[in-house]
Amino acid sequence: MQNREVKLEEMLRSLIERGGYNRNRQAILDEVGVSAAALSQYVRGQTRPSFQKLTALGEFFGVSLDYLVYGEPVAPVVDPGPLAHYVEHALADVQARASRHSDLLTRIGRVLADRIDNVARELANSDTAGREGLIQQDEVLRVERYCRRADIVTMTLTADVIPMSGADPAAGQFLQVVAANLVRGARYRFLLPGGESDQDSTVASFRSLLAPSVPGDQLHGNLAFGRAARPVSPGVGLYGLDVAAFEREEPALFTQFRKYLSDDHWLGYVTRPNVDSNADMLMSCNHAKHARAAFESLWSSRVNL
């Protein structure tokens, strides 16, 4: 049997910090049913909680016991229920009809493939935004769907969280993509400028909006926010991509941006510094390499949010 390192104290400290409970832990105490002294002893490793208290802590933070005790996420168990039978029936029906029209489907596929190739060549050989080194907002959204890693320097989080006057914040256009990527195991790091007073509440809203669709292990383990200790400008997006899926599913877009992809499958861009432009600027492979090194340096001195 493999011996796993117990990281309960470390994980508790991390969950308390990320949840914003460092200064006021009363909600934890009330929900779990422990005293402030007992919780402090858990965090310092002086005592260990009972199984009942351990389970209550996991339920409070929305994480599995494996993640809480060992820091290891587990895949959520999905009970398909009656929906699975309906999907299976529908799939069988589609397959039966498809088999009767296989020749037609083959012809359609061949025509579509030819047209996709023609469009890709046209984009590669014309003065498109990609040739000019620009990437449109909708193209950024499409590319981000193939992220395995995303390191983002941003002045605000409005692309993901939209503040609403007199109401709870709403999901921005990128939030659904972030949620889907996190569930698939992608890792996100957001670096925000220092000195912004409303960052903590925006980050809390970000996590709250993701919580219904992203299991706690992925949410806490794969999503991190930091406040830069040094000035940062301008905004930057650095994407580590699943290139095989990108090329297969978005051949025209892949052709458009292929020369900006590094050998280890990273794409970088600088976000526009004004609201008048509708495009961001792509980085050369060498520029993106230096930007990644700069991000790591800034991240190492960050303040966690």
* Residue 185: per-residue pLDDT: 94
On average, the pLDDT of the chain sits at 83
Which residue would you say has higher pLDDT here, 224 or 121? 224
Highest mean pLDDT among 153-167, 227-241, 282-296: 282-296
* Residue 128: per-residue pLDDT: 46
What residue ranges do the domains of the chain occupy?
8-70, 85-125, 136-304
Rounded Cα distance between 220 and 176, Å, is 17
Q: Is the pLDDT of residue 122 over 80?
A: no
Q: Is the pLDDT of residue 114 over 90?
A: no
* Residue 47: per-residue pLDDT: 87
* Residue 72: per-residue pLDDT: 76
The answer to whether domain 8-70 has CATH 3.40.50.2000 is no
* Residue 275: per-residue pLDDT: 67
pTM: 0.64
Q: Taking the CA atoms of the chain, what radius of gyration do you get in angstroms?
A: 23
End-to-end CA distance of the chain: 37
Q: Under CATH, which number does the domain 136-304 receive? A: 3.30.870.10
Rounded Cα distance between 78 and 183, Å, is 13
Task: Report the SS3 class of residue 240.
Answer: strand
Which residue would you say has higher pLDDT here, 134 or 90? 134
Which residue would you say has higher pLDDT here, 1 or 188? 188
Average pLDDT over residues 53-61: 89
Average pLDDT over residues 188-195: 88
* Residue 169: per-residue pLDDT: 87
